[in-house]
Amino acid sequence: MVHKAHSYISNHLHLHPCMEDDDELRALESTLTQILSVVSVAESLPIAVNIASHHRALLQQLRDAAYEAEDLLDEFGYLLLRAKVESKIMGFLRPEEGSNTRMEDIGRIYFFDLLSRSFFQILEHDYTTYYVMHDMIHDLAQSVSKEECFRIEGSNAQKIPSTVRHLSINTDVLTQLEKVCELKNLRTLAFFCYDHFVPSHVFKELRSIRVLDLTGCDMERLPKTVGRLIHLRYLALCSTLATLPSSLCRLYNLQVLNTSKWCWSGRFPQNMNKLCNLRHLNVTSGFISQIAAIGRLTSLQGLAEFHVQRKKGHKIVELKDMNELRESLEIKNLENVKSKAEAVEAKLNQKQHIRSLRLEWGSSMKVVRNGDEVLEGLKPHPDLERLDIIRYYGINSPSWLETNWPFNLKSVILTNCKFWVSLPPLGQLPSLRFLKISGMKAVKQISSEFYGSENLKGFPMLEFLRLERMPHLLEWHGVEEYPLFPSLRDLEIKRCQKLIQIPTLATHANMSIVDVGPINNLEFSLSPSPDNLFTLNLCTSTICLDNYLDRRLFGAIDVLNLDMIYKASVSTIDLQAFTSLRQLKLSHCTQLVISKTPKEETIHSILPPLLNYLNIDSCGVTDEALPCCLCNLTCLSFLEIRSCHQLVSLPSAPILCQLTALKVLHIKNCDKLVSLGGLHVLTSLTELILTHCPNVLASTISEEDDSSTSLLPSSLMSIEINSCGLIDSALSKCLQNLVSLSTLKIYGCHRITSLPSTSVMRHLTALKHLNIWCCLVLTLLGGLQNLSSLEMLHILNCPQLLQSVNRQEDGDDILPPSIKLLELHSCGVNDNSLTLCLQNLTSLSKLSIEGCNNITSLPLDAVMCRLTALEELSIDDCKELMSAAGLTALINLRCLNIERCFKLDSMALLADLRSVSSLKDLNIMDGSEIQSLPDNGLPPSLEYFSLLQCHPELKMQILNKNGPDWNKISHISQIIC
């Protein structure tokens, strides 16, 4: 019988590709032999002898062997049937014969056609795109497919139609899982909950399954019985697996294997190469290189990385027949390729679907002598669009790159090819748009051959060009009377320390020059193009700016950034040459000074008048130089002065009044700055930031000053004062008559003791946002209650504030009733001051109290009941809080968060919350004392309940979803403990 079965299967299968070693036939023969052996032993045993033990063991062996034989026979039978009807399988998706179109491509066309017809909708969430079915389409689909598609949810017993073919499961009830075994027609099974454990015998019964999604399971090992699912096409594994069973390699019809990047140890079973129909293997790219003889997977569509090794099964020849690979391919460790002949065997020129190719040699210092030959043999397909060559050890360019073979190339990156002497003629590539050449240490010059060896092209489509880390590059030659780079938009030259010449550009490209050679000898010119902006970035420590800038060359520059020009000085001629300049940034130009102190009436601007953006950072600008920088800048809308340590005062009113368009002013880290000069005349200013200027606003305002005049312009809408020497009188003077101010932020001002009085505050009629942080000696709120438009108040780390608060003379309120959001973090608030703060805040919708250790109890119901708009309440790290009884008076509270309040009676809190009928979200951290839930349960309105660090017995009831306490919260849709 065994020999007949072997002969029959061999004759009909003609050794199917998945069984080319005849392993499975031998396995079947062995299994059938085991069956005969067990039967023979059973026949020889006396019936009365050890019937209970021997026969039970024999029957179990016989059953296991029969299962194995049955699985193999099923597979052989399927292969025979497939050979007869293959032309009919998935007919509506199968491409026409001879077509390069895949069934995935056809399916994608159908999908996006349905998307265009509104069958699906696009949903963006957490930077990921999802496609969801329209509600009406979903209802229709449910109606017409109710006998074939079914969902099991929750613990409720549901009758599953025997005809169901596609099933999703979201339950932990074992009896529901057992029902799955009875579904003989099942084709799809998916789990959507993260605490499932699927019994292994379930897989024994699902012989016809095609799609199995286990991503919602909690399994450390995949049962060996998964190998019985011989018709499986799609398998998605969960993230908790530690290993994969060898039986997985018997799923010969598997087309998609999807694993999580956190899944298992990264080790595949030995015979993964037997999955001959596998088309998609979604796994962390580095793990794929562990599969020996991966070249047998000729249907594979994607192979992100291939690591060449010298041992059998991992050589580059494995790529030979993998012509279905798509999109991108990275071949690493090419130093392990011995010769050109071995490289040619990879047949990269036949990989017509590869669009991006990365060829990478290892980082070892060992010299590779055959680099030229290997790269020559790695000739790609001419349809390649991106080519990266990394750490190539050869000297010369491959012939296929010199003869324009990959004519569709759009991007080329050459990196750390330190022996490559002459650059290939990339200028002849008609579609090249991006070129980066980096770390080419042997290149000393770029000659005319670079632009094209025959019929000079000169990079007709190139838009981005980067030259980096080429320490020996001295000259970059052009071609006389020939336009180069006609489409260039950005040119970046970085760390080419010896470069002294670049060619004339035929375009108005943006240019960035960082750490190049003696730039005063650098010769280049620009062809004017008034339709485009031109940005020039210069970053070096060797530039002599006066010798470098030339009004004939730079009159068309729109954006200029100068950084670390240590030797630079600015004269009247220098920057005036930039007649079209709109944006200027000067960074670390330490000698940016004016040699003589001009008298005010003779001040002349040294900057072009069309500037609308000016940033001066870490420069040597002085009180005398700054007026010359700002004079006549009538178009300037943004000004930032940072880390100018010689600056003592801003310019006076006659200078600043010329900045009629200035809207934004930032002054940062000017540690000697004392005076704001004529800042109040900036009538268009809307945003002011003063940060880390410890001496500004630090002196007492003279009584002779007009008390009705503010130090700041009344047009201001936003002010931030951070870590300055601000004192009480200066703050009052700053805020005088700012009727447009909507946002005020005061951070780290350790000298103010009180906010301004009512006479100042009542004029801030537009103020909506007030932030006060880290003002360590601030004690009094002043006239804060008079801010009639205030909506958001944040008080953080002001330990003396609200320690002692008395009722106001003009009423009981100490905060304006218009407040909608209130944050009190790490301040001196106590029970009394909290009550005074909260009374009459009828508009308050969100309240956060954190780190306020003087509070022992929340206000009583008489106060809390007035907070009719309060929906969100968070109390965190209030170590002395013992009572929160007033919460029951919050009739509209929807979200409550209690954390790290260790003296609070959590049991009493939960009992009181039963009456808060509006509560939707409840989060309690550190519920260790909660052993059981209140007898009357929690509010029926709850949808989310988080109880962290609760008693172990209570936690077990919640996790197991049973017990008396579980019944009290089973109505809540999402529970975390």
**What span, in angstroms and rounded, lies between the C-alpha atoms of 645 and 621?**
8
**What span, in angstroms and rounded, lies between the C-alpha atoms of 800 and 510?**
54
| Tens of pLDDT, residues 626-673 | 998 899 999 999 999 999 999 999 999 999 999 999 999 999 999 999
Q: Which two tokens stand for residue 420?
A: 């490559």
CA 556-558-559 angle, to 5 degrees, is: 135
Residue 144 — φ and ψ, nearest 5°?
-85, -15
The predicted pLDDT at position 773 comes to: 95
Whether the model clears a pTM of 0.85, i.e. scores above it, the answer is no
| Nearest CA among 593, 586, 524, 590 for reference residue 561 | 586
Radius of gyration of the chain (CA): 39
| Tens of pLDDT, residues 248-278 | 888 889 999 988 655 555 578 888 888 889 9
Say yes or no to pLDDT of 360 above 80: yes
| Tens of pLDDT, residues 590-600 | 766 544 444 44
Enclosing H/E stretch for 665: strand 664-668
| Nearest CA among 335, 334, 373 for reference residue 357 | 334
Check: CB of residue 726 under 8 Å from CB of residue 750: no
Higher-pLDDT residue of 515 and 543 is 515
Mind spelling out the 3-state secondary structure of 605-626? CCCCCCCCEEEEECCCCCCCHH
- Cα four-point dihedral sign 156, 162, 163, 164: positive
Q: Out of 266-270, 443-447, 722-726, 746-750, which region has the weakest mean confidence (pLDDT)?
A: 266-270
Higher-pLDDT residue of 13 and 109 is 109
Check: CB of residue 189 under 8 Å from CB of residue 207: no
Which residues are 196's β-sheet partners?
Answer: 217
Percent of the chain at pLDDT above 90? 36
Check: CB of residue 655 under 8 Å from CB of residue 630: yes
Q: Please compute the mean of the pLDDT values over residues 137-166 and round it to a whole number.
A: 78
Going along 255-385, which residue ranges are E strands?
256-258, 280-282, 305-307, 327-332, 354-360
DSSP for residue 858: P
The predicted pLDDT at position 911 comes to: 84
**What span, in angstroms and rounded, lies between the C-alpha atoms of 193 and 197?**
10
Residue 316 — φ and ψ, nearest 5°?
-65, -20
To the nearest 10°, report the CA torsion of 247, 252, 258, 259. Answer: 20
Check: CB of residue 808 under 8 Å from CB of residue 783: no
Residue 26 — φ and ψ, nearest 5°?
-65, -35
496 Cβ contact partners less than 8 Å away, ≥ 6 residues apart = 467, 468, 469, 470, 471, 473, 515, 516, 517
The predicted pLDDT at position 536 comes to: 76
Say yes or no to pLDDT of 686 above 80: yes
Buried/exposed 762-777: b ≥16 CB within 10 Å, e otherwise: ebbeebbbbbbbbbee
Say yes or no to pLDDT of 311 above 60: yes
CATH 3.80.10.10 fits 148-283, yes or no: yes
Check: CB of residue 328 under 8 Å from CB of residue 306: no
The predicted pLDDT at position 197 comes to: 64
Task: Please tell me whether residue 515 adopts helix, strand or coil conformation.
Answer: strand
CB atoms within 10 A of CB 3: 9
Task: Look up tokens 């700016």; give the residue.
Answer: 545
Check: CB of residue 490 under 8 Å from CB of residue 510: yes
Say yes or no to pLDDT of 91 above 70: no
| Nearest CA among 281, 288, 249, 297 for reference residue 266 | 288
* Helix pair angle (2-13, 51-85), 10° resolution: 20
740 Cβ contact partners less than 8 Å away, ≥ 6 residues apart = 686, 714, 715, 716, 717, 766
User: Which stretch, 76-80, 251-255, 324-328, 685-689, has highest mean pLDDT?
Assistant: 685-689
- Write down the mean pLDDT value for the chain: 80
DSSP for residue 707: T
DSSP for residue 967: H
